Amino acid sequence: MSEDITVRNAGSVAPVLAALALTLRPKRILELGAGGFSTKIFVDRNVFRYMERVDSFENGPDEYKQQCRALFGKDTSVYKLQFFDTNRLMIQIIKPKDLTIYDLILVDDSFDGVTRARTIRHITANQPDHQVVVIHDYNVRLYPEAVEGNANQFVFTAVNPFTAVLWKQAPIQVQFLTRINELMKAEITSKAEDKKTTGIWWRGRIQAYMENAGQ
């Protein structure tokens, strides 16, 4: 995939998650790799209004875990931030678990491509029909190469890092995702603190688009 993208913003996942929150209304969410953008969006009931459970798994360095805990505070009855030993790979953490219970999984784990590729391979090889998988940093060549199974796939390329959405029978329309990609290109800048990397801003923007389009 091409790296020739002028706008780079780590918050490129925000509009994707907001769009899926609006259209799919997922109740059970798994986040592999906590982060300042995605985790804040997942736990925001103004964005994910129908969520019943969010599990966030993090196995990064201790200092990063401390930052995560400081940002997101205590666990609640809905949201669980779970820390694992840094020496344990994410694939080792998730393999024994029943991942079919989740409606939406975000793969954004690990600090090296080979390790995350192993996570992607396991998740996509065992993806049930109802589940939607979101993969961040999809312009890393190892990640699309690691995908298994026959899921539908759409890649948001308007902003770097790219974000991919994989689904089988979930009610997702490619035309809608294409329009969100166009909105991302028009709206997102390279400013890390731009409000347009927040889930609540994008929920409002996408809601307005859907109403105007009669969706």
- Of 42-56, 59-73, 133-147, 187-201, give the lowest mean pLDDT range: 187-201
- The full set of domains in the chain, from first to last, is 10-212 (3.40.50.150)
- Which residues on adjacent β-strands are paired with residue 80? 55
Over residues 171-191, mean pLDDT: 89
Q: Residue 193: its pLDDT value, please?
A: 57
Average pLDDT score over residue span 125-142: 97
Structure confidence at residue 211 (pLDDT): 87
- Reported as a pLDDT band with limits 50, 70 and 90, residue 99 is very high
Q: If pLDDT is split at 50, 70 and 90, which confidence band does 5 have? A: very low
In angstroms, what CA-CA distances link 7 with 177, 181, 191? 19, 13, 9
| Residue 129 confidence (pLDDT) above 80 | yes
